Structure formats: structure tokens, C-alpha cells
Amino acid sequence: MDMALDYKMSTASASQVWDACLRIIRNDVTVSTFETWFVPIKPVELQENRIKIELPSRFFYEWIDQKHRLLLNRAIKQTLGDEGKLEYTFIDEQPEQRLEKPIDIRIRVPETKFQPKISDFVSNLNAKYTFSNFIKGSGNELAHAAGLAVGNTPIGSSFNPLFIYGGVGLGKTHLLHAIGNRALQTNPALKVLYTSTEEFTIKFIAAIENDTISDFQNYYRGVDVLILDDIQFLIGKEKTQDHFFHSFNSLYHAGKQIIVTSDKPPKDLRGLDERLISRFAMGLTADITPPDYETRLVILNKKADEIGLTVMPEIFDYIASSITSNIRELEGCLLRLLANVSLTSKEIDLALAKRTVHEISTTKKTTISVDLITKVVCEALKIDENKVRDKTRKSEITLARQLAMYLSKELTRNSLKNIGLYFGGRDHSTVIHACSLIARMIEVDGRFRDQVSKIKSQIETVGY
Ligand code: ADP
Ligand code: MG
């Protein structure tokens, strides 16, 4: 029999069988699971009662096999009968991108030809955040798996862009650094860049003011892996968004990896350019949700181990039952307990644990941006927000600017340089001057002190 014809017939019926399977599967999974994991599968071949399907990558295969094997088997059996069988193939990533032990290779290969060039590019990565200290558990499974896949295949991964979203303190930033660190381990020559959206915006504003926008563009378009944290801060900044959109496109079309995080899924980012939202939808979207009780216990045990704190199981149980929605707070609680026991050299008892949990839950958990600070300060002082970045030296505007600088230094992790850039490209010494001036005013002027503390608590309530 003609082989080609035979093959053609078998693919035709393979796709019919697969379509029937998809109809069954569709009823059992969410739309996004269906679209993410089942739509990309291709039926390749049908031989008697055995259907072969092709998955886009090894990662895909592992995920499907782990999570959806039962469902798939059931669909196959319903379609092909009890003897129905399923066979997988997947498109493997190129082996040279899966560098197993980069350190060994660097040492053993003296010849420059094969030696990966170590990039001197400044990545802004924090070496403290890695996959080895990222605890996998309920709530972050997909984000972890996809992140690991991208870290291991930083160029040409199946997930581009990778969009990770979730609430505060659930490990988004940790995961981003872990991906970046892993990508560099995989290929030390890569230009991997981690940046917060706030820093990106500040640098953009400065580039406009200093007329260095083309340098700015070249810089961002020259990276291999762009990691942008907290993209929700692009909302309301049309020019920065527009610029990011163009950088995004140029990186994407050059096959470069983009990873972003946000506090909400793309479709809920109201006020973000529709073009960007639809670009995000081209890749994989993974959410991170709060860990369940068991995962919280694992986290507490590991973190306590790391800092050398011994805690009784019932106290862990109390903490894990009380702090439920934020990993940063779990960690914070242990650190406070540690501080307390080292001060008093007493055992950690339930009463202390209760007090500590109470303290944690009443302290505001905040992600505060310079933007937010500026907004609240300007509202409180009744100043037009746009004016604080101007060159004007009108005294009430200058005061608002100085106060916003002072609070930005105190409440955010931005450098003096970045704060200066944000407020109209001013020098870091201007920021230092503003900070000491405001500090002195707070010291000597009771009314001003009250006003500042009111503004501060307002910022902390609005920040989340
Ligand atoms: P987010 O960016 O989502 O607000 P972070 O990444 O800053 O959260 O995480 C807050 C803190 O909790 C960090 O110290 C981080 O190391 C820790 N953390 C979060 N998730 C995990 C995890 N899965 N395993 C270990 N530590 C975690
Ligand atoms: Mg974060």
C-alpha cells in the first residue's frame, strides 16, 4: 500500500479522534486550562486504537502527564474504546541550551571557542532569591514550573511572554529573580535584566528630559531576557506604556524572552494599553494564590531552619492558622520571634507567638510607590501633581516636592539617584538636602509633624 496515502489517512482520522477527545476534555477543565494546555496539542498519527499526539515541549509533556493524564486517558477510552491507547511525543528544546553544569564546562574547556562569554551586563538580580529556596506548593505550582522551564531555556522557551500575577507577598519578585539567576546559570553570556516598573518609568522620564531617549531604547532592546516587575504601575502612564510596547515588540520579534508580573490578570489591568494586554495573552499566564495550610507549615519550617530558630509544632500550627494570605508576613513573623527571643533569651511560647501575630496583622503591608506618595502629598497640600516635577521654585510647590522626596526615601526602596530623577531629573544631593530639611522641620514644628504623620498613614492605607 502507498505509504504516503496511508499516512495521510491516518492523520485525517487522528484529528477526528482528537477532536472528539477535545470535546470531552473541554467539559472537564476551565477555559484557560483548555486553551493553555490542550489547544496547542497536535494529533499526529492514529494506528488502530493508538493515537499519537505531539506536545510543544518537554515541559508541556511533564505538566500534562502529571496533571491531566487521567482525564486524557478517560477521553481516549471513551473515543477509541477500552483498548484505546495514547502515545506522546514532544518537540525537544535544543540540547545546547540545556547546559547542565555551567561551572564545570567553564573550568574544563580552556579553549576560548567553546567558553561561554560571561556577560558584564548589570542584571540587577538578587542572588539571594533562587529556585533552591523557593518553596513549591499549592498556589504557585504552575508559576514555579513555567518559571523553571524559562530559566532552563531562556531563549526559545515555550512561554513567551511569561505573565505571572498574584497578591502581595506571594513570591512574584522572588520567582522573577530565581528565573533570572537560573537563566544566567544556563547561559552566562546572556544579558538578563531585572527591573521594577517604577525604575523603568523613572529612567524613561529622565531620558526624555535629558534627551537620551535613543540610548534608553537601545539599552532595553539589547537585552536577551527582560524581567519587568509589577507592571500594574504602568497604568495611567501612556507615554511609558507606548515606549514599553515598542521595546516589547522588538524583543519579542527578535525571539527574546520577556517575563512580567502584575497584581492582577492581564484582562483586569484596566487603563493598560489594549495592545499590551493582547500581547501578554500570546504567552502563558500563571497565577500565584495564597498557600494552603500544609504549604504554610512547610514554609515556616524551612524559614525557621534557615534562621536557626527552634519553634514548637503547636506554635507553628498557631502561626500557620493565623497568617493565611501572605508569605512575607509568615517570614516577618519568624523574624520578629527571633528578635524577641534573642533580646529576652526566653523560649517562644504561645503568648509571645500570639502577640507577634497580632503585631504583624496590624502593621500595614504596603507596596508603596513614588507615584503614590506624590499623589497623596499633592492632594494633602492641594498642589497640582504635574507641577512637582517642574523646575518651579514656588515655595509651596518646593515644599511638596521636598516632602515627597523625603517620604520616597523613607517608604520605598528607591535610590537617592532614582528619586532625584523622578522629580524632574534632579541631582541626588538635592534629595539629600530635601530629606534633611524635612527631618529638621518635623523635629521643630509640631503641626507639620502631625500633618506628615497623617499623610504617611494615608499613604500606607492606600498602598497595598
Ligand atoms: P511579591 O513580589 O509577590 O509581593 P515577594 O517575592 O517579595 O512577593 O515575596 C515576599 C517574601 O516571601 C520574600 O522574602 C520571599 O523570599 C518570600 N517568599 C514568597 N514566596 C516564597 C516561596 N514560595 N518560597 C520561599 N519564600 C517565599
Ligand atoms: Mg514584588
The DSSP-derived string for 17-72 is: HHHHHHHHHHTTS-HHHIIIIITT-EEEEEETTEEEEEES-HHHHHHHHHHSHHHH
The pLDDT-based confidence of 82 (bands split at 50, 70, 90) is confident
The candidate with the shortest Cα–Cα distance to 369, out of 193, 163, 123, 196, is 196
Pairwise pLDDT comparison (158 vs 109), residue with the higher score: 158
Which ligand is closest to the CA of 176, given by its number? 1
Nearest-atom number in ligand 1 for the CA of 135 is: 24
Q: What is the mean pLDDT of the chain?
A: 86
Task: Kindly give the distance from the C-alpha atom of residue 169 to the centroid of ligand 2, in angstroms, as a whole number.
Answer: 7
Q: Which of 324, 340, 360 is the last residue of a domain?
A: 360
Cell 496539542 appears where? 41
Nearest-atom number in ligand 1 for the CA of 133 is: 25
Q: Are residues 23 and 81 in the same domain?
A: yes
CA angle at residue 182 from 179 to 187, to 5 degrees? 125
Residue 217: phi and psi, rounded to 5, are -60, -45
Per the structure, the complete domain to which residue 308 belongs is given by 293-360
Q: Are residues 241 and 375 in the same domain?
A: no
The pLDDT-based confidence of 92 (bands split at 50, 70, 90) is low
Q: Are residues 84 and 188 in the same domain?
A: no
Atom 18 (ligand 1) nearest CA: 171
Q: Are residues 171 and 278 in the same domain?
A: yes
Nearest-atom number in ligand 1 for the CA of 176 is: 6
Atom 19 (ligand 1) nearest CA: 171
Provide mean pLDDT across the span 444-458.
88
Q: Are residues 179 and 283 in the same domain?
A: yes
pLDDT digits (tens, 9 = 90+) for 284-324: 999 999 999 999 999 999 999 988 888 899 999 999 999 98
443 part of a folded domain:
yes
Task: Kindly give the distance from the C-alpha atom of residue 167 to the centroid of ligand 2, in angstroms, as a whole number.
Answer: 9
The DSSP-derived string for 383-443 is: --GGGGGSS---HHHHHHHHHHHHHHHHHS---HHHHHHHTTS--HHHHHHHHHHHHHHHH
Q: Are residues 160 and 283 in the same domain?
A: yes
136 part of a folded domain:
no
Task: Kindly give the distance from the C-alpha atom of residue 452 to the centroid of ligand 1, in angstroms, as a whole number.
Answer: 31
Q: Are residues 218 and 239 in the same domain?
A: yes
Looking at residue 117, its pLDDT comes to 57
Task: Kindly give the distance from the C-alpha atom of residue 51 to the centroid of ligand 2, in angstroms, as a whole number.
Answer: 44
Q: Are residues 71 and 148 in the same domain?
A: no
Q: What is the rounded CA–CA span in Å between residue 51 and residue 60? A: 18
279 part of a folded domain:
yes
CA angle at residue 111 from 110 to 116, to 5 degrees? 85
Q: Are residues 149 and 253 in the same domain?
A: yes
80 part of a folded domain:
yes
For 32, 260, 261, 326, the CA distances from 166, given in Å and listed in that order, are 16, 12, 8, 11
314 part of a folded domain:
yes
For 242, 297, 309, 347, the CA distances from 341, given in Å and listed in that order, are 52, 21, 9, 7
Provide mean pLDDT across the span 324-337.
91
Task: Kindly give the distance from the C-alpha atom of residue 433 to the centroid of ligand 2, in angstroms, as a whole number.
Answer: 30
117 part of a folded domain:
no
Nearest-atom number in ligand 1 for the CA of 137 is: 23
Give me the CATH number covering residue 395: 1.10.1750.10
Give me the CATH number covering residue 354: 1.10.8.60
Provide mean pLDDT across the span 236-256.
93
189 part of a folded domain:
yes
Neighbouring-strand partners of residue 50: 47, 85
Q: Are residues 154 and 277 in the same domain?
A: yes
pLDDT digits (tens, 9 = 90+) for 406-438: 999 988 878 899 899 889 888 999 999 999 999
Q: Are residues 343 and 429 in the same domain?
A: no
3-state helix, strand, coil in the chain (%, to 5): 60, 10, 30
Atom 13 (ligand 1) nearest CA: 328
Nearest-atom number in ligand 1 for the CA of 174 is: 6
Atom 5 (ligand 1) nearest CA: 171
Please give all residues whose beta carbon lies within 6 A of any atom in ligand 1, as ranges: 133-135, 140, 168-174, 299, 327-328, 331
Give me the CATH number covering residue 203: 3.40.50.300
257 part of a folded domain:
yes
Q: Which of 58, 89, 110 is the last residue of a domain?
A: 110
Which ligand is closest to the CA of 335, given by its number? 1
Q: Are residues 191 and 322 in the same domain?
A: no
Which ligand is closest to the CA of 166, given by its number? 1
Task: Kindly give the distance from the C-alpha atom of residue 42 to the centroid of ligand 2, in angstroms, as a whole number.
Answer: 37
The pLDDT-based confidence of 163 (bands split at 50, 70, 90) is very high
Task: Kindly give the distance from the C-alpha atom of residue 128 to the centroid of ligand 2, in angstroms, as a whole number.
Answer: 14
Q: Which of 89, 110, 131 is the last residue of a domain?
A: 110
pLDDT digits (tens, 9 = 90+) for 115-127: 445 667 899 999 9
Looking at residue 96, its pLDDT comes to 40
Residue 134: phi and psi, rounded to 5, are -100, 120
Give me the CATH number covering residue 99: 3.30.300.180
In total, how many domains does the chain have? Answer: 4
